[in-house]
């Protein structure tokens, strides 16, 4: 139950962050908003899939794919920042060429690497915490089902006496309950052999899970803070591309650079 509550809370944070990011683009980067919506939605969907322990999701690859898809959109508006009439989009072939130059150009500065590091570490730690919590719940459930074969004869006699004595004396067991102290003594005696073995190891597990919760969820580098501030990081990436628009255009427009990346003729077609 607690595990599902934690997961629901983190998923809800991703939904809130996604809405904040979409609102940011619609208000601050209005001209980019229509073309950037699909990559943003897909990006947050991948984060939620990763949280749900989908083994086929590579968080680092998902982040880089998002920024790579966002590059042609940001570039179109970075090089036309002084124009109020940006219509349409680049040809698909040219967009593919731009995306292939992403690693060389680094249009968003170091922000993609920061986002990768923050998300991979925080979301990864959160999934480890939730896995540990799930396994701990399984252990507790198993511990609650003590097989009668493992109980001593003395313990079974005490349990029988505690449960049926009221009925044997003509009293309804629903009206007359065994006193708390007697119940406690019987259970302590029956479980002593197990408690002695499990006490220290289980205490260590409980302390580890508590520490993991605070480190993976509640710290400045925890999944809560990383997801809450994700829209700010994405905005920083766009601002970096916009501020370096002229320099970025020179690099993309250079014949040598484009020829090296097999984009020369596609670049000519865009002119």
Return d(Cα 47, Cα 57) in angstroms, integer: 9
**pLDDT-based confidence at residue 255 (cuts at 50, 70, 90):** very low
Give residues with Cβ within 8 angstroms of 71, minimum separation 6.
98, 99, 102, 105, 107, 108, 241
Return d(Cα 69, Cα 90) in angstroms, integer: 12
pLDDT at 53 over 80: no
Give residues with Cβ within 8 angstroms of 183, minimum separation 6.
162
pLDDT at 63: 95
Q: Tens digit of pLDDT for each residue in 90-102?
A: 777 778 878 888 8
Q: For 260-267, what is the mean pLDDT?
A: 54
Question: What does residue 262 show for φ and ψ, rounded to 5 degrees?
Answer: 60, 30
Nearest CA to 188 among 177, 199, 175, 203? 199
**pLDDT-based confidence at residue 136 (cuts at 50, 70, 90):** confident
pLDDT at 157: 81
Could you give the percent of the chain with pLDDT greater than 90?
28
Q: Tens digit of pLDDT for each residue in 145-170?
A: 655 556 677 787 887 887 776 655 55
């Amino acid at each position: 139950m607690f595990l599902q509550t934690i997961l629901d809370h983190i998923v809800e944070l991703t939904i809130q962050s996604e809405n904040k990011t979409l609102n940011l683009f619609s208000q601050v980067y209005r001209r980019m908003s229509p073309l950037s919506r699909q990559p943003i939605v897909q990006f947050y969907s991948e984060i939620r899939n990763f949280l749900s322990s989908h083994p086929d999701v590579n968080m680092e690859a998902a982040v880089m794919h998002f920024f790579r898809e966002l590059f042609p959109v940001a570039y179109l508006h970075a090089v036309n920042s002084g124009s109020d009439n940006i219509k349409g989009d680049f040809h698909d072939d040219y967009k593919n060429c731009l995306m292939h130059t992403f690693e060389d150009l680094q249009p968003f500065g170091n922000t993609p690497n920061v986002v990768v590091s923050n998300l991979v570490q925080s979301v990864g730690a959160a999934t480890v915490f939730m896995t540990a919590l799930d396994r701990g719940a399984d252990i507790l459930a198993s511990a609650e089902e003590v097989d009668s074969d493992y109980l001593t004869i003395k313990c079974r006699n005490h349990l029988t006496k505690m449960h049926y004595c009221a009925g044997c004396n003509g009293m309804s067991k629903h009206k007359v309950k065994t006193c708390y102290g007697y119940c406690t003594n019987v259970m302590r005696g029956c479980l002593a052999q197990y408690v002695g073995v499990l006490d220290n190891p289980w205490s260590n597990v409980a302390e580890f899970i508590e520490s993991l919760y605070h480190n993976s969820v509640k710290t400045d580098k925890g999944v809560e803070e990383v997801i809450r501030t994700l829209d700010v990081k994405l905005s920083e990436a766009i601002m970096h591309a916009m501020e370096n628009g002229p320099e970025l255009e020179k690099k993309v427009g250079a014949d040598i650079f484009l020829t090296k990346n097999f984009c020369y003729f596609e670049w000519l077609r865009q002119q």
